[in-house]
Structure 1
């Protein structure tokens, strides 16, 4: 008896469901002309968008950082621990690790220096900032405003001499690039391979900017890593030049003192004192110079050891990877989205109005 009632209820439920489906079908069918018109309009809009929309080019540059100083010792221990899933820290001081990497590449200083890098476009040397402005067609609006008409961004310009307006323009370009176009990633913390992706509707700009940014960050990183060693090297070179000059002066003094006592009576020793003093200066400066030369050579070795090797693995090659909405895809997508939107509106109207 219970099974018969359950079967009867199931039949009623299925019948109600079928009736609702038929009711919704009749409801949408009654608006078939409106649906067809909206779908066609949406498809045409999608087709128009696919024609007008410019393709987006993506330049990708991959490089690896090899730092001899960081190898061995505690670095090996940390590497071994990380292979077992243990994080013992110790990597916070490396600007090319973790979040520090993104911050360095995305920093306003690095991006603005990249904008001022020179590039050759149509036979002319201009900055990437000027190339960005031309691509965005800002000049057309600026020419109508006297305050902006004369603004130029020359290649390798002195950033400290920029006006407030120039700073503001660079700030706007920086925000556009970092929010919409630039992406930096490191796939694995244990692998020092870094990917830079730069997207733009201008193929050459994407390529040039990606390469220039890598150059700027690489130069900054190398100079930062070897800064102390280079400062020590400069001090040693100045001291070496100074002692060499003193030694030459002492040698000249010895020769002059010997000339003064030439054929001197051997019993008059007081006249030989200046020559003896100069000889002591020569010996002392010779010993100092020998040590300084040795330290200078050691400093050169230290600089070579502490200067990281940045090797580019893959650089952007024309033609770049392009992302474009095809005409067929735009036609189908536009029609589908328009039809879906109309269906939602009609459902809302039937249920709540």
Structure 2
């Protein structure tokens, strides 16, 4: 007997048929059309709330200082790029495995925005309106941190830094410096505009025009000074040791030559062999010390030239120029409120339709 009933096409439980998807879309569309007034109400309420928030929110004007520079001219003694290899590696130009040197690859970009570098920059003196002031105090006055992060903290609002080592900071000064660093880190960017070139672009965006310019310029100066100290550390240590050795040899040579001259003056008619031997010994010591001293001076001169050779050269390609680019940040509360109202309206409709479906089935 042949079965006359047509076969029923059933889908596996882990698959959804196109028909089911289309039916679900139609149901959602119908639910939205039935409750469109509710969605509009929520969007209007959200928009009004966002508008009120925008009204009481202060608009911020951000001035962006842009400084482009190139780093080159130093020599570390080994690299596929010769004398410029180590410095070129700071911009990702050297191939091979990542280098542990803090001045190589992206390490340089991270190092330039590290807390020690930022702190050294903030503790520099700047001249504003003919008066000298620490950059950190100028930032507290004009950078906006008093009005934002420290609005409700009178202790931090009235803090003022003095010129002293960071190791001698009080707990309050460390807390304030930490919060200033976190804010400045978000205001400062350092990157390569083109990976094929060695140019680096420094961008600083702050609420006061002159502050942004001064901070960008002093940050580059600090990076250059700190880079130079760290990059030539070993050579400077050798230079100090050899300079001390040359000074010691000079003192010893002067003393030996004085003893020889005095001995000759006292024994001009000397005929005794023992006296002649003593004079010969002093002459030999003086000649030996003289050769050692001249060799030490030559080594010191070579190391002095090495310090100049190893020191990096920061060349400013495009300095910061006034007036700076100005960007007014408008509050986005109204748009955010409308979007939030739309989302809440959809959620309310979903629960409302679900509850209605449950009640109909009951």
SS at match of 2:75: helix
- CA deviations on 1:207-228 (whole Å, 9 max, x unpaired) are 2222222211211111111111
Contact 1:64 1:193 in 2 (8 A): yes
Q: Which residue of 1 aligns with 2:315?
A: 311
Does residue 1:258 correspond to 2:280, yes or no? no
Q: Which residue of 2 aligns with 1:121?
A: 128
Contact 1:253 1:275 in 2 (8 A): no
Does residue 1:100 correspond to 2:104, yes or no? no
Q: 1:181 Cα deviation (Å)? A: 1.3
Report 1:186-201 matches (<5 A): 186-187=192-193, 191-201=197-207
Contact 1:40 1:335 in 2 (8 A): yes
Cα RMSD (Å) = 3.9
Contact 2:69 2:315 in 1 (8 A): yes
Which deviates more, 221-230 or 336-345? 336-345
SS at match of 1:131: helix
Q: 1:40 Cα deviation (Å)? A: 8.0
- CA deviations on 1:1-45 (whole Å, 9 max, x unpaired) are xxxxxxxxxxxx9xx98xx79x94x965x6899699669847955
**For the structure 1 residues 46 and 164, does the alpha-carbon distance in structure 2 shift closer, same or farther, using more than 3 Å as the test?**
closer
Contact 1:186 1:195 in 2 (8 A): yes
Contact 2:249 2:293 in 1 (8 A): yes
SS at match of 1:63: strand
Q: Which residue of 2 aligns with 1:153?
A: 161
**For the structure 1 residues 216 and 350, does the alpha-carbon distance in structure 2 shift closer, same or farther, using more than 3 Å as the test?**
same
- Bigger proportion of residues as helix: 1
Q: Which residue of 1 aligns with 2:81?
A: 75
Give distance in 1, aligned partners of 2:351 and 2:195. 54
**For the structure 1 residues 230 and 340, does the alpha-carbon distance in structure 2 shift closer, same or farther, using more than 3 Å as the test?**
closer
**For the structure 1 residues 269 and 37, does the alpha-carbon distance in structure 2 shift closer, same or farther, using more than 3 Å as the test?**
closer
Give distance in 2, aligned partners of 1:311 and 1:86. 20
Contact 1:56 1:200 in 2 (8 A): yes
- From 281, 291, 306, give the equivalent of 1:287: 291
Does residue 1:88 correspond to 2:96, yes or no? yes
Give distance in 2, aligned partners of 1:351 and 1:142. 45
**For the structure 1 residues 272 and 134, does the alpha-carbon distance in structure 2 shift closer, same or farther, using more than 3 Å as the test?**
same
- From 275, 281, 305, give the equivalent of 1:271: 275
Give distance in 1, aligned partners of 2:169 and 2:54. 45
Give distance in 2, aligned partners of 1:151 and 1:37. 45
Contact 1:116 1:128 in 2 (8 A): yes
- From 218, 223, 230, give the equivalent of 1:224: 230
Aligned residue pairs, count: 319
Contact 1:181 1:200 in 2 (8 A): yes
Contact 2:224 2:312 in 1 (8 A): no
Contact 1:42 1:337 in 2 (8 A): no
Relative to the length of structure 2, the TM-score reads 0.72
- CA deviations on 1:160-216 (whole Å, 9 max, x unpaired) are 2111111111112112222x3122213455533222222211222222222222211
Q: Which residue of 1 aligns with 2:219?
A: 213
